[in-house]
Chain A
Amino acid sequence: MTATTQTRNRQEGPRPSTPTARKLRRGRALAGYMFVAPFMIVFLLMFLVPLLYAAYFSLFREQLVGGNVFVGLENYTRAFGDEQLWTGIARVCLFFLIQVPIMLVAALAFALALDTGLVRLKRTTRLGIFVPYAVPGVIATLMWGFLYGPDFGPFAQLAEKIGMSAPDFLGPDLMLGSLANIVFWEFTGYNMVILFAALRSVPTEIYEAAAVDGAGQWRIAWSIKIPALKGALAVCMIFSIIGAFQLFNEPQLMQSLAPTVIDAAYTPNLYAYNLAFVGQEYNYAAAVSFVLGLVILVGSYAFMFATNRRSRR
């Protein structure tokens, strides 16, 4: 893209700037703005304005008794020292470290397997892996909640039939793993589709050349396909970082099954929600949301920085 811009500049630069050309250019520029206007308006109204308002709002403290006062950064100082918030952030970090590698490796394996053309019923298989993503997260969580049931869930019943006791999926030790499993089930197919699409755009000549050079399927996967997927994997990774840190639906729904395990601050998002809508601490909830946003930003940048440096080396 840089190359094309440069060529265009070189062409346009020395050309005498006649009034008509200038008018034309201005007209063209205007058209450009018109084209992006619908997006920009919605972006401004629905994204930037609320964001700015929430930022403004996070500088106040409104009490049930005593009204609204400007408190500067007090909500942020509280957030940075809030043990509940940081326990939640640590928890989603752990969730991310366990869940995302497994999910992305599985998605990669499925994509590579489908791309070899050796899998039978390719479309059906692809669809089968993708289908869970089409199931609304709420339904998926309710379904898994039933499957995990300690007394009457199918796993528990099955274990009982063979004289064993099923692990307590909803207990404090396994809950995070149980949630990770739901997210794995929901999103592996989605990531697989991104990776699979990226694989389809690799020119087949490269594979032919590799085959001529005597490379087998494993070697092609390792030396050609996986390097070609670097960009797509990075995208999946960023989405996963954001998704993991914003974990909300699954724990929120599982709360009704295990209220003593999933507390009000189980994940940072759940904490912000409960602060705002149970405790009516709207201002502090806004500050917590910003701190969470900051953590996600730092995490995403750290990841991009690390991968960029490695690829440059």
Chain B
Amino acid sequence: MNPRFSRRTGLTAALAGPLALAACGRHTVDPPKSVTQDQIDEAMRTPTELNFWTWVPDIEKEVALFQDAYPAISVDIVNAGQGNPHYAKLRTALRAGNGAPDVAQLEFQMIPSFVITEDLLDLGPYGAAAIGDQFVEFAWSQVSGPNGEVWAIPQDTGPMGMLYREDIFQAHGIEVPATWDDFAAAAQRLHEADPEVYLTNFAPSQGAFFAAMLWQAGADPFGGSEGPDLNVDLTSPEAEKVARYWGELSEQDLISVDADFNDQWYQALNKGKYATWIAPAWAPTFLQSAAASTSGLWRVAPLPQWEAGQAVSSNWGGSTSAVMATTRNPIAAAVFAQFINTDPQSTATMANEQFLYPPTKALLEDPAFTGQQLEFYGGQEVNGLFAEIGTTVAPDFQWAPFQDKVYADFTATVGTGVAEKTDAFAAMEAWQARIEEYAKYQGFTVRKP
């Protein structure tokens, strides 16, 4: 069995990873107080090569627009993987002191994880401080530091809604649930009527979904953390409410607990095992290709509420463009990050051709975007609905400075607890304990408000 090189990759990676960290005095930019327009013009006329890591398909379109505007700058696009593999490589390159890109795609929840390691360049002095009002508030607050830093430029967002199968709802006389209580009642009714169908699926490894649920309920577990002082509060009454809700639905076998984004899950979506998918604004496009056989059967509604009459949503996913502190071309990189995410043509292309749900007010108020009738959703104006939902997203939700670890621990504790129908609140306590232990090990001062 010698040539199991693949199997050794783990060990090799574990050994080689640190090797790359031979911190040979890495270069970082000393952020200037302000950058004059002359300096910017000068830099944008100087032939420069930018390296850009992203997994957005067809990003060449937006890059081409940038290069038309700034012919002296050429942009080299690298797809280093999506999500975790991308971050692992990015971290390794940043710590190695060479090989890191000038600009990289970062999901919102990863920004604090790169701020804590001082890997991001504050874009405020490069003109970004003045563009905040072009973006919806919750998106801009996610990229802003406590002292007015601008750590990244929002590219797309995912305000949460509920995608549901109108045909299944109609067949069993179920109304679109307005509150979580209605939702639980509907889950029971549907499952009794047809044991093969579940009102929804709770994916045990989808920490991002659970974070969105906490966010909507008003729990802000890491809120108020600053630098080495970390707040962790996963056992607040709001968080407990969310955990118990999903735990009880699972205990009564009213929802399924399948892992998501794998073949089994795609088939389940196609074959109507789940009557809803509680999902964000990027989900409608995703579903069109993932469950193509169900075209016309789906509709979109706002998220069920904890209190009748409320309208509160949250966010799941979405990305930004961030400039690495190691860049040799801070001005060009900062201008590039702003250009692709604010230029009207570039943002319109992203929204209408790559179907990234936009964070810019201009597009969210543009009838050409919001008025699109999607056949897959029976002609519903899905973009417009999500634009409305976007205005109800609470702007204050803070991510941990090691959010990927928080998600991994979620799967091991709460995800597994809900899936295996054990006490969901005990699982929250276990999650809290794991994070506290890890945070202390990493040198944080842990406070529990």
- A residues engaging B (CB < 8 A)? 50-51, 53-54, 57, 63-66, 136-138, 145-146, 149-153, 187, 190-191, 236, 239-240, 242-243, 246-249, 252, 256-260, 263-264, 269-270, 272-283, 285-286, 288-289, 292-293
Contact = CB atoms under 8 A, between A and B. Distances in A.
A281 B267 CA distance: 37
Contact of B441 (A63, A137, A243): A63
Most B C-beta atoms less than 10 A away, residue of A64, A243, A256: A64
B171 interface: no
Interface stretch (B137-145, B343-351, B398-406): B398-406
B1 A243 contact: yes
Nearest to B204: A260
B273 A151 contact: yes
Interface of B: 1-2, 4, 6-11, 13-19, 21-22, 84, 88, 91, 116-117, 204-205, 227-228, 258-259, 261-264, 267-268, 271, 273, 401-402, 404-405, 408, 411-412, 415-416, 419-420, 438, 441-444
A272 B10 contact: yes
A282 B18 contact: yes
A57 B18 contact: yes
A279 B434 CA distance: 12
A268 to B, nearest CB: 9
Given A260-B411, A281-B441, 15 more contacts: A54-B18, A138-B6, A146-B263, A152-B264, A190-B1, A239-B2, A240-B1, A242-B1, A248-B11, A260-B204, A269-B14, A273-B14, A280-B405, A285-B14, A289-B11
29 contacts: A57-B19, A57-B21, A64-B443, A65-B444, A66-B443, A137-B7, A149-B267, A150-B264, A151-B258, A153-B264, A243-B1, A246-B8, A246-B10, A248-B7, A248-B8, A252-B10, A259-B415, A263-B416, A269-B14, A274-B408, A276-B13, A277-B91, A279-B408, A281-B441, A283-B18, A285-B14, A285-B17, A286-B15, A289-B11
Contact of A65 (B8, B416, B442): B442
State the majority secondary structure of interface residues on B. Answer: helix
Contacts of A289: 11, 14-15
Contact of A279 (B117, B263, B267, B438): B438
Given A256-B262, A272-B14, A249 B267 contact: no
A73 B273 CA distance: 52
Most A C-beta atoms less than 10 A away, residue of B10, B258, B261: B10
A35 B126 CA distance: 57
Contacts of B88: 277
State the majority secondary structure of interface residues on A. Answer: helix
Contact of A249 (B7, B15, B91): B7
Nearest to A274: B408
A310 B415 CA distance: 50
Task: Give me the 8 closest cross-chain CB pairs, A-B, nearest first.
Answer: A259-B205, A66-B443, A65-B443, A63-B443, A269-B10, A248-B10, A239-B1, A243-B1
Contacts of B419: 260
Given A190-B1, A239-B1, A53 B22 contact: yes
A281 B439 CA distance: 12
A13 B259 CA distance: 73
Contact of A151 (B10, B205, B268, B411): B268
Contacts of A263: 411-412, 416
A249 B13 CA distance: 13
Nearest to A264: B408
Contacts of B14: 269, 272-273, 275-276, 285-286, 288-289
Most B C-beta atoms less than 10 A away, residue of A137, A146, A280, A292: A280
A263 B88 CA distance: 19
B402 A64 contact: yes
A207 B91 CA distance: 62
Contacts of A240: 1
Contacts of A63: 441-443
Given A151-B268, A249-B6, A272-B11, A286 B1 contact: no
B7 A269 contact: yes
Most B C-beta atoms less than 10 A away, residue of A53, A65, A236, A270: A65
B11 A282 contact: no
A151 B267 contact: yes
B116 A64 contact: yes
A257 B262 contact: yes
A115 B437 CA distance: 59
A257 B267 CA distance: 13
Most A C-beta atoms less than 10 A away, residue of B4, B6, B228, B420: B4
Most B C-beta atoms less than 10 A away, residue of A153, A246, A281, A292: A246
Contact of B21 (A136, A187, A247, A282): A282
Nearest to A237: B1
A270 B10 contact: yes
B18 A278 contact: no
A219 B84 CA distance: 57
Most A C-beta atoms less than 10 A away, residue of B117, B258, B259, B273: B259
Contacts of B205: 256, 259-260
Contacts of B117: 64
Contacts of A279: 402, 405, 408, 438
